[in-house]
């Protein structure tokens, strides 16, 4: 066999077999790729939950800062710095993830952002990602992996900066970049080669999302360490003060006064002993609610104390004193033009109550309608009603109270006076009568409403040569017959205008007669 010589064809077949064997060795099974997809989806869900929990911690942190900025301020400032560092680090890793997906899948970065890992076709490819992360180097020093490693190390150093040594020792980071790594043959590897050399895209995406989870976990640990430095349990605030938060310091007679009494840093695990004017007030989750019926008017003062178990196990007492003012509701409902309501017309009304915004006042009427019109109200009462009552309530969004009522007489709109040639009777020049050509109804001068009646009919009477001339008009205007009679009238001749009917609010009215002496 030693002298056996292969033919060129046999050599070619052997070479093809070796290549096929190598390809089979490098091929990643569908099951493994699918496993990466499942793990990646789980990590992404975990990252979302982590972010929500961290945001809740920041919200509680900010609330404590509002209560005692002098003490909490430095810790809150460092927490905001931690948030910025973490968000920037996550954004940096996200950008790398979208970039390598775009390069491998041959799509844009924007498309990569919205494409789930399960929908990527090149999940099992590693050439593009290896070149991106490792570059033309044997240890990854010229690729993106080295830059990512340096960013991670800098982030770990910056995020714990400012914490006391004891707090730093308690923080464990999953962002390790200096571990002892080996390849499949047992040879030593650095962090870059171990995680990114000949690693398929599915594994790269999963690993980068795992780094994001590590960043959020580290952020959570650091923020929690900062928050624990200002919790009420260890009394690290400069001052624990009693806080009384009333729902309102202005209370109307008959209403209920309510206030929340608490320590600024609340410990919901213990209920303090709260007393007001010698009376023990029940507490729940560290808060006591004091209620009292506001029967007496004027300034009302109450005081008491809060007893709470301190960090040493001893009971500390914090006194407080608070006051509120009780006043009787004051309501003003007044027509803006007259001291009565007129039927069948819009009556403007002004409604106000001391200490209450106009937007919180609501009015109703027992007969007719009332509506808001700008800053005032408009009342309209039908004919036949003798008295109208306006009732006003106050609603501040949580409670409705009766502010009072006002009663008004209802009168019929006064009857207008009929005029012709700007006169209600007596001597009138013939030329003025001919020029006017109509009967005009006029309201009394002291009636301030802008209201007009319309003449619907009247009768014209005159005597000439012993005969009575009688003409009718179905409007307010003089007919041609009436005009001819006036033109042929002599000085001193009398004319009567009777049965004058006018239409207005509430129906038709009969106006007074006009007696004319032609001049």
Domain termination site, one of 177, 205, 230: 230
pLDDT (0 to 100) of residue 251: 63
Rounded to an integer, what distance in angstroms lies between the CA atom of residue 96 and that of residue 90? 10
Q: Is residue 13 part of a domain?
A: no
Q: 303 and 279 in contact (C-beta within 8 Å)?
A: no
Q: Is 91 helix (H, G, I), strand (E, B) or coil?
A: helix
Question: Residue 64's beta-bridge partner residues?
Answer: none
Mind listing the pLDDT tens digit for each residue in 215-268? 999 999 999 888 887 754 454 444 566 777 776 656 666 667 777 786 666 666
Rounded to an integer, what distance in angstroms lies between the CA atom of residue 441 and that of residue 500? 10
Rounded to an integer, what distance in angstroms lies between the CA atom of residue 380 and that of residue 371? 9
Rounded to an integer, what distance in angstroms lies between the CA atom of residue 451 and that of residue 413? 9
User: Which band of pLDDT confidence, cut at 50, 70 and 90, is reported for residue 494?
Assistant: very high
* Number of domains the chain is built from: 4
Same domain, 345 and 493: no
pLDDT (0 to 100) of residue 154: 94
pLDDT (0 to 100) of residue 18: 53
Place of tokens 């506001």: 294
Burial per residue of 180-205, b for 16 or more beta-carbon CB atoms within 10 angstroms, e otherwise? eeeeeeeeebbbbbbbbbebbbbbbb
pLDDT (0 to 100) of residue 309: 77
Q: Note down the domain range covering 42.
A: 18-230
Least confident residue range of 334-348, 403-417, 424-438? 334-348
Same domain, 223 and 83: yes
Predicted model pTM: 0.44
pLDDT (0 to 100) of residue 260: 74
Is residue 386 scored above 80 in pLDDT?
yes
Same domain, 30 and 139: yes
CATH of the domain at 303: 2.60.40.10
Question: Residue 47's beta-bridge partner residues?
Answer: none
User: Which band of pLDDT confidence, cut at 50, 70 and 90, is reported for residue 16?
Assistant: low
249 membership: H or E segment, kind and range: none
Q: Is residue 376 part of a domain?
A: yes
Q: 36 and 206 in contact (C-beta within 8 Å)?
A: yes
Rounded to an integer, what distance in angstroms lies between the CA atom of residue 272 and that of residue 284? 9
Mean predicted confidence (pLDDT) in 449-471? 90
Rounded to an integer, what distance in angstroms lies between the CA atom of residue 512 and that of residue 133? 107
pLDDT (0 to 100) of residue 350: 87
CATH of the domain at 341: 2.60.40.1080
Domain termination site, one of 295, 327, 359: 327
Mean predicted confidence (pLDDT) in 35-51? 90
Q: Is residue 207 part of a domain?
A: yes
Same domain, 449 and 393: no
Same domain, 150 and 43: yes
Tokens of 27: 């091929």
Strand 341-342 and strand 400-411: the pairing is parallel
pLDDT (0 to 100) of residue 235: 44
Mind listing the pLDDT tens digit for each residue in 137-179? 888 888 999 999 999 999 999 998 888 787 787 787 778 888 7
Same domain, 323 and 335: no
Mean predicted confidence (pLDDT) in 281-285? 83
User: Which band of pLDDT confidence, cut at 50, 70 and 90, is reported for residue 78?
Assistant: very high
Same domain, 66 and 168: yes
Query: For the chain, first and last CA: distance in Å?
Result: 159
Same domain, 321 and 400: no
Mean of all residue pLDDT scores within the chain: 84
Tokens of 379: 């009342």
Least confident residue range of 79-88, 150-159, 292-301? 292-301
Same domain, 215 and 303: no
- ∠ at Cα 195 (189, 198), nearest 5°? 90
Rounded to an integer, what distance in angstroms lies between the CA atom of residue 11 and that of residue 13? 6
Q: Is residue 1 part of a domain?
A: no
Same domain, 134 and 113: yes
Mean predicted confidence (pLDDT) in 428-452? 89
Question: Residue 31's beta-bridge partner residues?
Answer: none
Upper half-sphere CA count for residue 387 (Cβ side, 13 Å): 4
Same domain, 425 and 374: no
Is residue 54 scored above 90 in pLDDT?
yes
Q: Is residue 6 part of a domain?
A: no
Tokens of 120: 């990527």
- Other Cβ atoms closer than 10 A to 46: 16
Rounded to an integer, what distance in angstroms lies between the CA atom of residue 392 and that of residue 79? 52
Q: Is residue 5 part of a domain?
A: no
At residue 407, φ and ψ (nearest 5 deg) are -105, 140
Place of tokens 């040879």: 187
Q: Is 390 helix (H, G, I), strand (E, B) or coil?
A: strand
Mean predicted confidence (pLDDT) in 377-398? 88
pLDDT (0 to 100) of residue 26: 46
Q: 408 and 390 in contact (C-beta within 8 Å)?
A: yes
pLDDT (0 to 100) of residue 67: 83
Mind listing the pLDDT tens digit for each residue in 180-213? 888 778 888 899 898 899 889 999 999 999 999 9
Least confident residue range of 81-90, 123-132, 225-234? 225-234
Same domain, 321 and 378: no
Q: 71 and 229 in contact (C-beta within 8 Å)?
A: no
Q: 475 and 455 in contact (C-beta within 8 Å)?
A: yes
Q: Is residue 69 part of a domain?
A: yes
Is residue 23 scored above 50 in pLDDT?
no
Q: Is residue 345 part of a domain?
A: yes
User: Which band of pLDDT confidence, cut at 50, 70 and 90, is reported for residue 5?
Assistant: low
Which segments of 328-382 are extended strands (E)? 331-335, 341-342, 347-353, 361-365, 369-373, 376-380
Rounded to an integer, what distance in angstroms lies between the CA atom of residue 462 and that of residue 430? 14
Rounded to an integer, what distance in angstroms lies between the CA atom of residue 488 and that of residue 347? 48
DSSP for residue 13: H
Tokens of 7: 């033919």
pLDDT (0 to 100) of residue 240: 60
pLDDT (0 to 100) of residue 22: 47
DSSP structure string for 456-477 = EEEEEEEEETTEEEEEEESSSB
- Other Cβ atoms closer than 10 A to 509: 19
pLDDT (0 to 100) of residue 152: 92
Burial per residue of 257-278, b for 16 or more beta-carbon CB atoms within 10 angstroms, e otherwise? bebebbbbbbeeeeebbbbbee
Give the Å distances, CA to CA, from 327 to 295, 299, 461.
10, 9, 69
Domain termination site, one of 230, 260, 293: 230
- Give residues with Cβ within 8 angstroms of 326, minimum separation 6: 251, 252, 253, 257, 294, 296, 297, 298, 300
- Other Cβ atoms closer than 10 A to 206: 22
């Amino acid at each position: 066999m030693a002298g056996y010589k292969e033919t060129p064809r046999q050599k070619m077949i052997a070479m093809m077999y070796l290549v096929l064997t190598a390809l089979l060795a490098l091929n990643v099974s569908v099951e493994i790729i699918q496993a990466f997809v499942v793990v990646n989806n789980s990590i992404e869900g975990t990252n979302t939950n982590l972010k929500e929990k961290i945001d809740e911690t920041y919200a509680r942190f900010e609330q404590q800062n509002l209560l005692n900025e002098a003490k909490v301020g430095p810790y809150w400032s460092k927490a905001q710095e931690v948030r910025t560092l973490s968000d920037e680090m996550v954004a940096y890793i996200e950008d790398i993830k979208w970039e390598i997906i775009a390069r491998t899948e041959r799509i844009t970065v924007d498309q990569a952002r919205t494409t789930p890992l399960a929908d990527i076709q090149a999940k099992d490819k590693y050439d593009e990602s290896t070149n991106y992360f490792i570059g033309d180097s044997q240890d990854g020093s010229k690729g993106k992996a080295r830059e990512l490693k340096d960013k991670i190390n800098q982030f770990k150093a910056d995020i714990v900066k400012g914490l006391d040594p004891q707090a730093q020792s308690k923080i464990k980071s999953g962002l390790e970049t200096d571990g002892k790594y080996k390849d499949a043959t047992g040879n030593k590897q650095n962090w870059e080669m171990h995680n990114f050399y000949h690693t398929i895209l599915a594994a790269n995406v999963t690993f980068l999302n795992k780094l994001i989870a590590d960043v959020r976990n580290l952020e959570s640990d650091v923020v929690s360490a900062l928050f624990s430095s200002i919790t009420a349990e260890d009394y690290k605030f400069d001052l624990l003060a009693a806080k009384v938060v009333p729902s309102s310091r202005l209370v109307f007679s008959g209403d209920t006064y309510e206030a929340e009494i608490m320590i600024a840093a609340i410990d919901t695990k213990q209920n303090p002993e709260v007393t007001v004017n010698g009376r023990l007030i029940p507490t729940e989750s560290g808060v006591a609610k004091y209620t009292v019926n506001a029967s007496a008017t004027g300034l009302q003062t109450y005081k008491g104390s809060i007893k709470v178990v301190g960090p040493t196990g001893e009971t500390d007492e914090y006194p407080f004193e608070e006051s509120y003012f009780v006043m009787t509701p004051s309501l003003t409902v007044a027509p803006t033009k007259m001291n009565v309501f007129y039927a069948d017309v819009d009556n403007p009304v002004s409604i106000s109550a001391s200490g209450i915004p106009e937007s919180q006042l609501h009015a109703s009427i027992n007969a007719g309608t009332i509506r808001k019109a700008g800053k005032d109200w408009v009342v309209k009462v039908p004919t036949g009603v003798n008295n109208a009552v306006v009732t006003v309530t106050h609603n501040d969004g949580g409670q409705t109270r009766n502010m009072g009522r006002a009663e008004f007489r209802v009168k019929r709109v006064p009857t207008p006076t009929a005029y012709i040639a700007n006169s209600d009777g007596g001597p009138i020049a013939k030329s003025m009568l001919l020029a006017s050509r109509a009967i005009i109804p006029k309201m009394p001068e002291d009636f301030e409403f802008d209201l007009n009646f319309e003449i619907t009919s009247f009768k014209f009477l005159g005597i000439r040569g012993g005969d009575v001339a009688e003409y009718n008009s179905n409007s307010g205007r003089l007919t041609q017959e009436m005009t001819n009679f006036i033109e042929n009238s002599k000085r001193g001749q009398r004319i009567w205008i009777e049965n004058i009917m006018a239409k207005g609010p509430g129906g038709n009215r009969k106006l007074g007669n006009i007696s004319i002496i032609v001049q």
